[in-house]
Structure 1
């Protein structure tokens, strides 16, 4: 049989094997053991943190006939088939390559069929954020009314790209980055099972380079096993990952603390000549300085991200000036941003090293500082005197001008100019057929519609609010006239809204925009027109208005919102 990568061979098969996600695994086990499982789950978190593995374990535990305390037995035929990926009732789908509407519709159709071998049919959709908006809408129908014995598990690294209507219909579990200690514990177990010798510092270097991902850690460990001759050493691991030893980092930071430019540049050139990655050097320096600050305040080794507490580290933490450490972190972070936009990373690192190793004059001699302070205070007093003189002159001029007429001031009064003219004919045509149900449907999908739009159109529609809707039209108000005009004249925006509504509610709708300030006037004009037309409902409203003005206002509001067809007035 061909060689398999470590992360495939040692994929967790039980919840207790999932490293660093105790809160998630405990909740899932309890739900399974108590029979309180949901029809849809969302597993979100960084790559390589166990989302897909937990989904497969969950599918096994739901269908395993010998499951105990929410854990599968991994010995029955169903568990073995799910582990090998041969069970037809557990379907894994990669949304990156199956992100169309047709694929999701096919899932909806097949989900209606009962499972053939297992008790539950489980769909695991990986990278679900890659689905198109149409595919999400197709999936939404299934999540709203799920078939019996069907469970959906959605996995994603970017949950912010998933519509809120999908998230609200799932139970969400957030997988966090795995701590270096948990990664080291898992790698230690694997190496002992494989009977491979190792150095503890080598495993620490791998855990740091993995940045919280177990899959990345096992991939690096796989490389280290191939590179080594039966013993995984720190030097070989650092060569594979491109990281820098803690000893070199300590010397580099010490050179900055004692302002030794020559030593700092010499260490930098030695590190780069060894082929170390420039970006890795910046990242390691920032994290190393972070560990110095944290350890100097807490004296706790467990809170460190990448450092090993030895005599050199303790001495450096005790002697380091916090302000200087802040300066190193700030300069290195700025250098990291500059390096992204240039191909000369070495030059930026040299400049940063010179900046960090140059003494900064922060204190001034007492006599000089006092003289400077006195002169500065005198200068400030002179400036204040001049400002007061100008204020007095302005006040005198103001008193003299109080008797004179102020036509200019009156002309400067703000005038409310309506730059946008409402198309009342279009609005009235929509209001004549407006219904409460149409408006409710529109309000329900409006937030998702705005998220669906591109950035430019989303900015226009951000303050919009639907106020009336008919089967084929909708009236939307905006806070500003300019937004009304832009929305009404943007053909791409109108087409996008029509396309979305056709997918979600089944038909397109004609969009009409009205400024928020003008909407009450336009609505009242529509009511008055109905009254003049002699409609029965409106005549009743008119009669009631004479006797009860407040009730008439309520009736007018109801007709404006829901349309006269569905308004019935009773004494």
Structure 2
């Protein structure tokens, strides 16, 4: 018989063998034991966490005549046939290669036939998110009302790609990543059953490299066994996974922590010369900083997990490491990991990283954390405030240190202040008149309804400025916004970035708004009064009015009514000539 991979030989045959998914196995076993199974299940989670194995286990236990407390006996003909994959009533379909509507229609036609050997016909559809839209639609009706002796088990790594109508008709189980400790224990069990020699440190390296996937861990273990002639050693595990020894990681972090840039660069080149992967090196450095940080805060957590090698060198490094410095190391490593993702010159990024880490000083880490937590929009304001505080401190120090100060009745000259920036405000009166000529209460109400959505889509600084505005009028020609603060209004008018951001948001949410006019509140009141006056006298130029020329001189009552429609009855005051 040809050699089989470890993950195939040691596929779980009972729910107890399914590692790291205790909640799921307990729920399914209880459902089987009490015969409260349903017609459709959805198993979602990362790769290698046991979704397909659990589906086959469930199909086996569901059809096993000698089931005990939800577990199959694995001795009867049904169990052996399902394990060997030759039972016709358990159909496993790969949706990645059978994703068309024809395949699903074939399933729909065959579910009506009773099972031939087992009690239930079980369809296991792996990577179900790969089905086409038409295939999902064909599956929907069958999934909603299947025959009594048919069970569907859908497995996927991307549940967000599955239509909600499919998910709502299934019982969903979310498989989580398996912890390094659980993977470590499973590998130890397998090697002991095979009576093979192993180094526990090597298994720890493999468990870390698997990143929560049991299948990945067993595949790496298979490679290490082949490379080391059925012996699992630390050196072989490091070579196969491309990982770096804990000693080299601690040595490198100690060098950058002591600001020994040259020594750190030499260590980086030594590691790369050994053939280590640059991305794996960054991942190992991040994990090492995480372990040091956790050991300082909760050492019992790492000791209980058993997935970290804690020796005297590690403990000494943890004691002398500043938590704030480790925070900044992790941030810098993450940033560099993102930068070098698509780069062909990875060694250059590692050299730059070494210089950056060597420049980090633990004394200013606390300030760095506070700066990191601040939102990007407030960084400029924080820097400006810090500059102003510094200037005030300098001025106060000069006043206190001047010993020859003479008090007299003369007025002490005030220190020169930084001139306040003033913005030139040009009001487009003609544009305002055009907007008022076509403005309606309905358009104004619709704009007010969209206002909160528009503001929420803006950056923090821009949102703060536009929260101060009032909507005066709106219509097909545009919108008029007034501001009590003249400085804010001038800034919006003169800074292209600010009004472009607002107008783009208005266009997306409100729709085509025409021209948006920004005007200080005090000037708006004057313009509004002048507009009403010209309307009553009929002196508004025809090209500024949207209404036909024959309606330009309306009766006085109609003019008053139009003004009330635009501004509201409370804001209109009628004076007789």
In the superposition, the TM-score normalised over structure 1's length comes to: 0.67
Structure-2 separation of matches of 1:93 and 1:414: 67
Structure-1 separation of matches of 2:123 and 2:362: 65
Partner secondary structure for residue 279 of structure 1: helix
1:317 aligns with 2:336: no
Structure 1 unpaired stretches of 5+: 364-368, 420-477, 484-571
Alpha carbons of structure 1 residues 139 and 382: separation in structure 2 relative to 1, 3 Å: farther
Structure-2 separation of matches of 1:40 and 1:337: 40
- Cα shift at 1:307: 3.2
1:340 aligns with 2:341: yes
Asked if 2 retains the 8 angstrom alpha-carbon contact of 1:197 and 1:232, the reply is yes
Asked if 1 retains the 8 angstrom alpha-carbon contact of 2:325 and 2:361, the reply is no
Partner secondary structure for residue 41 of structure 1: strand
Q: Which residue of 2 aligns with 1:178?
A: 178
Asked if 2 retains the 8 angstrom alpha-carbon contact of 1:291 and 1:305, the reply is no
Alpha carbons of structure 1 residues 74 and 377: separation in structure 2 relative to 1, 3 Å: farther
- Cα shift at 1:231: 2.5
Question: Residue by residue, what CA displacement relative to the aligned partner does 1:41-87 show, whole Å, maximum 9, x if unpaired?
Answer: 00000111100000000001100000010000000000000000111
Equivalent position to 2:393, from 371, 374, 379: 374
- Cα shift at 1:481: 5.1
Asked if 2 retains the 8 angstrom alpha-carbon contact of 1:44 and 1:172, the reply is yes
Structure-1 separation of matches of 2:395 and 2:254: 38
Q: Which residue of 2 aligns with 1:216?
A: 216
Structure-2 separation of matches of 1:377 and 1:329: 40
Structure-2 separation of matches of 1:214 and 1:48: 5
- Cα shift at 1:293: 1.1
Structure-2 separation of matches of 1:285 and 1:376: 47
- Cα shift at 1:361: 9.9
Q: Which residue of 2 aligns with 1:134?
A: 134
Asked if 2 retains the 8 angstrom alpha-carbon contact of 1:100 and 1:132, the reply is yes
Q: Which residue of 1 aligns with 2:97?
A: 97
Q: Which residue of 2 aligns with 1:195?
A: 195
Alpha carbons of structure 1 residues 2 and 479: separation in structure 2 relative to 1, 3 Å: same
- Cα shift at 1:291: 1.4
Structure-2 separation of matches of 1:304 and 1:98: 42
Q: Which residue of 2 aligns with 1:66?
A: 66
Q: Which residue of 1 aligns with 2:167?
A: 167
Asked if 2 retains the 8 angstrom alpha-carbon contact of 1:291 and 1:304, the reply is no
Question: Residue by residue, what CA displacement relative to the aligned partner does 1:142-162 show, whole Å, maximum 9, x if unpaired?
Answer: 111111110000000010100
Asked if 2 retains the 8 angstrom alpha-carbon contact of 1:43 and 1:172, the reply is yes
- Cα shift at 1:178: 0.6
Question: Residue by residue, what CA displacement relative to the aligned partner does 1:115-152 show, whole Å, maximum 9, x if unpaired?
Answer: 11100000000000000000000110111111111000
Q: Which residue of 1 aligns with 2:357?
A: 356
Partner secondary structure for residue 176 of structure 1: coil
Q: Which residue of 1 aligns with 2:327?
A: 326
Asked if 2 retains the 8 angstrom alpha-carbon contact of 1:196 and 1:231, the reply is yes
Asked if 1 retains the 8 angstrom alpha-carbon contact of 2:322 and 2:362, the reply is no
Correspondences of 1:393-412 after superposition (within 5 Å): 410-411=433-434
Asked if 2 retains the 8 angstrom alpha-carbon contact of 1:287 and 1:305, the reply is no
- Cα shift at 1:229: 3.3
- Cα shift at 1:358: 2.4
Q: Which residue of 2 aligns with 1:144?
A: 144
Q: Which residue of 2 aligns with 1:510?
A: none
- Cα shift at 1:298: 1.1
More divergent stretch after superposition (184-193 vs 317-326):
317-326
Q: Which residue of 2 aligns with 1:515?
A: none
Structure 2 unpaired stretches of 5+: 365-387, 399-413, 444-507, 514-577
Q: Which residue of 2 aligns with 1:13?
A: 13
Question: Residue by residue, what CA displacement relative to the aligned partner does 1:359-392 show, whole Å, maximum 9, x if unpaired?
Answer: 55977xxxxx99865237899x97977449x79x
- Cα shift at 1:319: 1.1
Alpha carbons of structure 1 residues 416 and 287: separation in structure 2 relative to 1, 3 Å: farther
Alpha carbons of structure 1 residues 359 and 2: separation in structure 2 relative to 1, 3 Å: closer
More divergent stretch after superposition (213-222 vs 321-330):
321-330
Partner secondary structure for residue 340 of structure 1: coil
Structure-2 separation of matches of 1:305 and 1:356: 29
- Cα shift at 1:322: 1.8
1:75 aligns with 2:75: yes
- Cα shift at 1:323: 2.1
Asked if 1 retains the 8 angstrom alpha-carbon contact of 2:184 and 2:307, the reply is no
Q: Which residue of 2 aligns with 1:38?
A: 38
Structure-2 separation of matches of 1:302 and 1:72: 36
Q: Which residue of 2 aligns with 1:278?
A: 278
Q: How many residues align?
A: 409
Asked if 1 retains the 8 angstrom alpha-carbon contact of 2:179 and 2:212, the reply is yes
Asked if 2 retains the 8 angstrom alpha-carbon contact of 1:287 and 1:306, the reply is no
State which structure, 1 or 2, has the greater radius of gyration over its C-alpha atoms. 2
- Cα shift at 1:263: 1.3
Question: Residue by residue, what CA displacement relative to the aligned partner does 1:244-285 show, whole Å, maximum 9, x if unpaired?
Answer: 011111111111211111111111011000000000001111
- Cα shift at 1:337: 1.2
Q: Which runs of 4+ in 1 moved over 4 A?
A: 302-306, 359-363, 369-373, 376-379, 381-386, 406-419, 478-483
Partner secondary structure for residue 43 of structure 2: strand
